[in-house]
Amino acid sequence: MEIAVYSAKPYDREYLEAANATMGHRLQYFDAGLDGETVALASGHGAVCIFVNDKADADVLEALALGGTKLIALRCTGFNNVDLNAARNLGLKVVRVVDYSPNSVAEHAVALLMAINRKIHRAYNRTRDCNFALDGLMGFDVAGKTVAVVGTGKIGRVFAKIMLGFGADVIGYDTFPSPEFEALGARYAVPGEIGASADIISLHCPLTPDTYHIIDATMLSRAKRGALLINTSRGALVDTEAVIDALRSGQLGGLAIDVYEQEAGVFFRDLSNTIINDDTLLRLMSFPNVIVTGHQAFLTREAVTTICQTTLQSVTEFETGQPLSNEVKAP
């Protein structure tokens, strides 16, 4: 099947080609992301393969359908960038990668937590200048602290297991409680407990209307002063302006994020020789107690291999008329 691959980075091409060796699809790669200006590139392709920041709203989907596209294949788990109602009305099928490697994201969240707590980023910069002073690098033991896991799906449970291994008291929040989470030795928080007790809050939930800005000014005002916030899920779970205010006042002790609410025009690109026009992001990165990584939590060999294999297998299922194992449908 002819597949237009948008937002194609070198690692995408390498691992998609490896996965395609036994499938025989015809892949055409585009560096550009999918949006209203680039949708014409997909004309004549039966499927498009897109990533987290590609735009698949009603207008783009209509243009895709007119160009002969029948399948939207997301090489990611989240699908908030696709208008599922419009896809259904246009007769377009949508598939995603339901499960790749929860370890990759959970382990990156742990890496961010330890880096922001133990000031690894600051120590690295100092020692590069032969400054081995320790002033300002004080952290705390994770053992004995309370870690709140918001979203206790597969990734959240892996993160919780690692935190339990550190000796932390792990509490969770999820609208759909998981017996597996409790079986680990963690427990679900009672109302208000996360804000009052959590020394560390890590977000592992999808972006939905209910979770949009789940971390806002009200929640931050109720949080334990000096708590650390980790986000490796979706940028819009966090109200960035509210977080900046909480960092400035000291209410929030530190922030480590792999996702950002307005990341679409910035992440996955080398902007080292340009002036970034996002003043909010620049302000955020000016804080010494903030670490930002560029949506790399998924980027392990194991995860990317599974993502590419699953994505192309979904295209094969569609092409051969099989049931779509990873189909996403409008509610």
What is the set of active-site residues?
Answer: 234, 263, 295
Query: Nearest Cα to 95, choosing from 69, 81, 74?
Result: 74
Asked if residues 112 and 295 have their Cβ atoms less than 8 Å apart, the reply is no
Residue 270: φ, ψ to 5°? -90, 105
Asked if residues 147 and 199 have their Cβ atoms less than 8 Å apart, the reply is yes
Query: Nearest Cα to 42, choosing from 31, 54, 53, 34?
Result: 34
The helix/strand/coil state of 189 is: coil
Find all residues with CB under 8 Å of 97, minimum gap 6, and list them. Answer: 74, 75, 76, 77, 306, 307, 310, 311, 326
The helix/strand/coil state of 272 is: coil
Asked if residues 42 and 72 have their Cβ atoms less than 8 Å apart, the reply is no
Residues in the chain: 331
The helix/strand/coil state of 82 is: strand
Task: Name residue 222's beta-bridge partners.
Answer: none
Asked if residues 106 and 162 have their Cβ atoms less than 8 Å apart, the reply is yes
Q: How far apart are CA 209 and CA 206, in angstroms?
A: 10
Cα torsion angle, 201, 206, 211, 212, sign: positive
Strands (DSSP E) found in 51-98: 71-74, 93-95
